Amino acid sequence: MSDKSNSKMKSQVSSTTRRGALKTLALGAGAASLPMWARYAQASTSEPIKIGFQVHRTGIGAAYGRWYGRTTEAAVKLINEGGGINGRMVEIVAEDDGTDPKRGAEVVEKFANQHGCDVGFGTLFSHVVIGSSPRAGELKLPYFVVSEGHHVASGMLNRYTLQPGITDVKSQVQAMAPFVAENLGKKVTMIFPDFAFGHDHRDFFTAAIEAQGGEVLEHIAIPPAETSFTKYFPKIPRETEVLYHVMVGPAVLTFVKELGEFFGPSRPEIFGFIDSLEAVDIASPGLEYLEGTYFWEGNPRNAQEDQSAHDKFYREAVGVDARGASVNDPSDVSTYAHMFGCWETMHVIKAGMEAANYQGIGDRAALIEAVEAMGEMPESQAHPQGAKLFNGKTHQVFGHQYISKVEDGALKVVHKTSIEDGMYPDEVDYTTQGF
């Protein structure tokens, strides 16, 4: 990059104040400095801003991909109805990565070289993020992932990869381990998928429960494509006080049903990540034994008694009812605990582009620096899951976590962590890396 280009970029970023970025986020998608007619007039004569949406339409992430798609479409609809971004409409360019790392990298390349996208967005499964982000860095394509793995904040990736809309596993388990130890037990057996996301759970929850005076008696890793699980359950030690489970993929209903069949009427306390039941009706036959068990939720699937106006607005916008299913089909259960990350990340991209006065791909570095400067993200229409704190050095956001208990076939929040509960020392400073 030339000195002249660097000077232009720094000038743009210098006008991007933290306050300006926060103001854009707090006002939500409808915020605008121009009259509505002027924004539409400008947008009608401008090229759209292209968001490359890397979506798991097929493979083990397909259920998430379906709802990530619906949530993204709802967010873009709202943003465009409010005049778009910098007076330009937003266009989603979707490509299926098959929940496969190799295809993920190919999709990123298509976004940059074939479709001319301004940014990449939306990836969930950690092994796909890890396989795709190096190519995004090489292509200098800002890559906004909606995953949960610790790979971003660990320093494994690059300055072009950011996770500003959803917290990572290390933060989640650190925040919740005290509740597990104090209320459920300290002798834990863990069941998790045998890939990067599951390994994050294995490593970080083990450390977190040990910090509370507990211990993990057994780690049971299950291949992500497994379809039957009964053969793994005899590995659970008899002295287990808490069974910690997190499972993903199309066989999650089979997993929770077989778990109940294995234990029968006698079971330890159970603490699960709602991943094991994402896109699954908790009232499904065979899941009655889950009554009285606990789940982590990134965003409560069931509307709570103290539901915020922001959650109500968001829920209606994405077409989800009070129990977390499609308003058009009660059997079509959403991935509500995760998909808010797409809504919030789209609004972060909007806020970053407006703060950086983004005009085109020459302003990608300015966009990244604008997002790095955001810091506090107030609860708002743009952030209906709750307030957050973005760490510009690690490119990772921190937020509230929810622990829900199954009561009368519904998920009732019994504990909400503070943002501080999930914070940990920085492991990288991406801002020291060049563009």
Per residue in 303-337, pLDDT (tens digit) is 999 999 999 999 999 999 999 999 999 999 999 99
Do the domain assignments include residue 317?
no
Query: Per residue in 80-129, pLDDT tens?
Result: 999 999 999 999 999 999 999 999 999 999 999 999 999 999 999 999 99
pLDDT band at 249 (very low <50, low <70, confident <90, very high): confident
Contact 166, 298 (CB under 8 A): yes
For residue 212, which of 243, 187, 189 has the smallest C-alpha distance? 187
The pTM assigned to this predicted structure is 0.89
Angstrom distance (rounded) from CA 361 to CA 225: 38
E strand map for 194-308: 215-222, 242-245, 269-273, 294-297
Whether 42 has a pLDDT exceeding 80, the answer reads no
Do the domain assignments include residue 82?
yes
Do the domain assignments include residue 220?
yes
By percentage, how much of the chain surpasses pLDDT 90?
87
Angstrom distance (rounded) from CA 233 to CA 243: 11
Helix axes 364-372, 336-355, angle to 10 degrees: 120
Same domain, 161 and 105: yes
> Residue with structure tokens 């400067």?
373
> Domain residues for 264?
170-305+404-413
Q: What is the DSSP letter of 59?
A: S
Same domain, 202 and 271: yes
Handedness of CA 83, 122, 419, 298 (dihedral sign): positive
Do the domain assignments include residue 332?
no
* 429 burial level (CB within 10 Å; 0-12, 13-18, 19+): middle
Q: Residue 331 is encoded by which pair of tokens?
A: 């059997």
Same domain, 164 and 175: no
Count of domains observed in the chain:
2
Q: What is the CATH number of the domain that holds 48?
A: 3.40.50.2300
Same domain, 111 and 7: yes
Do the domain assignments include residue 367?
yes
Amino acid present at 240: T
Mean pLDDT to the nearest integer, 202-216: 98
Same domain, 152 and 239: no
